[in-house]
Structure 1
């Protein structure tokens, strides 16, 4: 079942991307103009536009007149945007009940038309939005099929029918992968292609050398956006935690309330294990790690579990329930854990195997691989 989890998780990381239009290389429009039209709106209705630029959120609003509204401005780079329509004098109390349309904002002339709800709008003039809609028509059926088949496996015996379904899930995932990768390869001047690359190709265990080579193929305009900078920062950080690099030292607090530093274990083989009490795949890995620890704990080997919990009680309870007898540390900041950020952790479980000189010699070992790798090491020593 673990394999199914990772297949589904990988496939669901594929964001809605798009097919590029070669005519997009025309001269850029100075700023944007968004013209909206909804025939059924009351005279007191309002349109609210929101979008992000760098770390700032921009808001603009305008009254609807004769079912029409307009926004003008300029963006330094494309980004996700929302237009919400206030039907009458006030918005619904719950923000998620608002009548909202999501699209990509870019410097162009954009037309948004709808009848009774902006959620059902049609859009013209936003190349990125139309490309995204186009791509989703191909990608969404893959994702829906994977989700449906995966749900159908829950509680089922792992017989021939079960394995046949697993094979179908793998084949469907492969088709989705091929489609996304072809899009990335064919559309290196596309902002959405970079988003697809960031969310799909930069998974929890990507090769930074390969990623850097692929990243360099994107156009300079795309790379020089804030998204491009974030992607590069992620690749650069991954290079620092690659096999062959020196492990980054950290200091965290143990379950007993004492300060612990990774450097204190210099001279030992150490498995740094990022996990959390709420992480089901992490808890599924624990029996394999316990088995490896019990076999090699007296052979110059130690484990440091770094919890991404935000509360001590569930962390402590999980350690006790799963019988994890090694060193446990955390700063109880969740994914903002300082050690996790230093190692570029955005998904768990993840682990790093370090030699006595403090060099990373392997990473993201799963299941029996932990014990197998340690067996290989200690047979040689």
Structure 2
């Protein structure tokens, strides 16, 4: 699965002393974890802090000050994100193994136990397809109108997808209770979907002007005017981008002599040196641009990028032809123009 952007503003602050009546404890016993650091950060705007949890021989015991029900994320090994739902005066116990962090078991707090039960229903399915994950998530949402777990599942399995089903998402949001609909994450989802609809297939691609390695400003209406343009969104820090770049090299070899087709890489790097090294290492000979603002780049917002690597094919008239196209998709779409 692609690495997703976490569309959450996490503010780093000191964990100060507070009222003991608001304390929530998180205890864990996870085989294979050893002596490691786990990061805890907010996922819904109600917990704007990053805490570090120190594990010793796979066990940890951490206390946080909580005023109201909130969703958070436990980050293991700097890569695996596991949701945890916090409420004041709860004692949460987590067990499992690093071999299957997605199937940790939780005790303490209704939402945690609901999520744990949901994950266990999937455990026996082996490696379910994305469609199966969505079906199971929809079943849960439809039967849990007041659970914060429903928001997490909606965001994970429906919103952060390559081609979100806007109608389905709107329907599932409408099923949720008023309390859930007031959640900051739902507001973020609605805003994100509004932006995504602006770059749906058939809509005009947003204008951009971004610098290449020579600091020349590159635009769609410049050297790519009246051409099909395949834009690839990537970053040197994203592992999946290397694999995607290998596939793009094949596409470039097949179309580099086609005067009606162009390619452009737009990176979400923040480090110029790392960006240049990745371009050289991955042999990216087509045009590359980057403004070094990372995922906060205006282009990420304009094109409603939810994950990378991602690509979009734009027609010569500026309309969006398709998202996340394969070489077969390109052949079909370009051939259709040639046939007209």
Q: TM-score scaled by structure 1?
A: 0.61
1:295 equivalent to 2:254? Answer yes
Higher helix share: 1
Distance, in Å, in 1 between the alignment partners of 2:255 and 2:115 is 50
Q: Is the 8 A contact 1:247 1:359 kept in 2?
A: yes
Distance, in Å, in 1 between the alignment partners of 2:221 and 2:202 is 17
> What corresponds to 2:298 in structure 1?
338
Unaligned runs of 5+ in 2: 7-20, 26-40, 51-63, 74-83, 94-104
Distance, in Å, in 1 between the alignment partners of 2:331 and 2:193 is 29
**Where do 1:61-210 residues align within 5 Å?**
75=68, 78-80=69-71, 103-105=85-87, 110=89, 112=91, 123=108, 129-140=109-120, 142=122, 168-170=126-128, 176-205=133-162, 206-210=164-168
Distance, in Å, in 1 between the alignment partners of 2:292 and 2:232 is 15
1:56 shift after superposition: 7.0
Out of 200, 212, 221, the position equivalent to 1:263 is 221
Distance, in Å, in 1 between the alignment partners of 2:106 and 2:173 is 34
1:273 equivalent to 2:232? Answer yes
Q: TM-score scaled by structure 2?
A: 0.67
Q: Do the aligned partners of residues 320 and 219 (structure 1) sit closer, same or farther apart at CA in structure 2, a change above 3 Å counting?
A: same
Q: Do the aligned partners of residues 174 and 302 (structure 1) sit closer, same or farther apart at CA in structure 2, a change above 3 Å counting?
A: closer
1:329 shift after superposition: 0.5
SS in 2 for 1:215: helix
SS in 1 for 2:214: coil
1:308 equivalent to 2:290? Answer no
Unaligned runs of 5+ in 1: 14-32, 38-49, 60-70, 83-101, 115-119, 124-128, 147-167
Q: Is the 8 A contact 1:204 1:345 kept in 2?
A: no
> What corresponds to 1:26 in structure 2?
none
Q: Do the aligned partners of residues 370 and 273 (structure 1) sit closer, same or farther apart at CA in structure 2, a change above 3 Å counting?
A: farther
1:365 shift after superposition: 1.3
Q: Is the 8 A contact 1:81 1:105 kept in 2?
A: no
Q: Do the aligned partners of residues 36 and 201 (structure 1) sit closer, same or farther apart at CA in structure 2, a change above 3 Å counting?
A: closer
SS in 2 for 1:181: helix
Greater C-alpha Rg: 1
SS in 1 for 2:110: helix
Q: Do the aligned partners of residues 326 and 236 (structure 1) sit closer, same or farther apart at CA in structure 2, a change above 3 Å counting?
A: same
> What corresponds to 2:35 in structure 1?
none
1:320 shift after superposition: 2.5
SS in 1 for 2:263: strand
Q: Do the aligned partners of residues 346 and 200 (structure 1) sit closer, same or farther apart at CA in structure 2, a change above 3 Å counting?
A: same
CA deviations on 1:214-245 (whole Å, 9 max, x unpaired) are 32332333212212101111111111111011
Number of equivalent positions:
276
RMSD: 3.9
> What corresponds to 1:88 in structure 2?
none
